[in-house]
Amino acid sequence: QAKDDGRNRYRCYTQDILPQIESRLLMERELRQAFENKQFVVYFQPVINLKLGKGVGVEALIRWQHPERGIIPPAEFIQLAEETGLIIPIGEWVLKRSLDQVKSWLARGIPVSKLSVNVSGVQLKDARFVDKLNQMLISSQFPANKLILEITESILLKASEEVSNRLQAIKASNINIALDDFGTGYSSITYLKSFPVDVLKIDRSLVTGINASSDDAAIVEAITVMAHRLGIEVTAEGVERNEQKLLLESIGCDCGQGYYWSKPLPAAAFEAWLARAEQGE
């Protein structure tokens, strides 16, 4: 009986997938409207300099403030934004919003050493990206050497010559480049040789177990030594406990980021956190 029901099966398949297509279309429309209605917000998470014992940078992390569903994390919409091309205006907005925010902190004497902004591969494929970036730096009067663009290994894996030249142009503008989520993808040692990387961000999955597993600690230490020999700084992501911080310090990690210090916060709450941290020092 299964023989002649090709059409039925097809119909079944369409019926199964229709709700998915509908919800995707709905989500796409919502995402577009969210941008138009200014429902995105940038949160800021401190990046602590472990070596100097002072100096705090920030990573800008987008959130969707949904009128009914509340705060939606980037994991739930960045991919769709990339697939629809919406990441280009959204990413541009994140950059502008963060540059303006940090610039105004600096103007008010609030010390932020560096600003990190995540950039999607789709943005880097846009031929106008470098020009737009430089224009934003000028209009925000933001010093290029205080900006770090965070990109992932997968971008470098697929990097065309254009993307590669674009990264060189970004570097030539004195902007820093960080390789995000290091240790989650492919062996990336060749990328470090062929791309202008200033900072390596060791992924949380490698940092989590460093106290319990001597293997994980050895990997983090080896990455740190290698990075330093290449003139690259190291930031450990996802630091949640004091013993992780202590071990990372003894390994020689330059910076740490994680809930141990603070979750990502709205701008005003970050400012308050920083004021408290400075008093504590």
- Burial (CB < 10 A; 0-12, 13-18, 19+), residue 95, is buried
Question: Which of Mg ion, ligand C2E, none binds 100 (CB below 5-8 Å, type-dependent)?
Answer: none
Candidates 137-145, 182-190, 255-263, 273-281 — which segment interacts with ligand C2E by CB under 6 A? Answer: 255-263
Could you tell me which of 96, 97, 87, 93 has the C-alpha nearest to residue 28?
87
Q: Half-sphere exposure of residue 144, counting CA atoms within 13 Å on the CB side?
A: 15
- Is 91 a binding residue for ligand C2E by CB under 6 A? The answer is yes
**Which residues within the stretch 121-180 sit at the binding site for ligand C2E (CB under 6 A)?**
150, 180
- Is 264 a binding residue for ligand C2E by CB under 6 A? The answer is yes
CB of 39 to Mg ion, least distance (A): 22
Q: Using the rule CB under 6 A, which residue among 101, 118, 140, 244 binds ligand C2E?
A: 118
C-alpha 114/C-alpha 116 separation (Å) is 7
Question: Which of ligand C2E, Mg ion, none binds 216 (CB below 5-8 Å, type-dependent)?
Answer: none
**Which residues within the stretch 206-235 sit at the binding site for ligand C2E (CB under 6 A)?**
none
CB of 245 to ligand C2E, least distance (A): 11
Concatenated DSSP letters of 20-56: HHHHHHHHHHHHHHHHHTT-EEEEEEEEEETTTS--E
Q: Taking the CB of residue 20, how many other CB atoms lie within 10 A of it?
A: 9
CB of 266 to ligand C2E, least distance (A): 13
The answer to whether residues 56 and 49 touch, using CB atoms and an 8 Å cutoff, is yes
Q: Using the rule CB under 6 A, which residue among 23, 259, 272, 276 binds ligand C2E?
A: 259
- Is 57 a binding residue for ligand C2E by CB under 6 A? The answer is no
Mapped onto helix, strand or coil, the DSSP state of residue 8 is: helix
The answer to whether residues 60 and 44 touch, using CB atoms and an 8 Å cutoff, is yes
C-alpha 72/C-alpha 64 separation (Å) is 5
CB of 167 to ligand C2E, least distance (A): 16
Which residues would be at the binding site for ligand C2E (CB under 6 A)? 45, 61-62, 73-75, 78, 91, 94, 118, 120, 150, 180-181, 204, 237-240, 257-259, 264
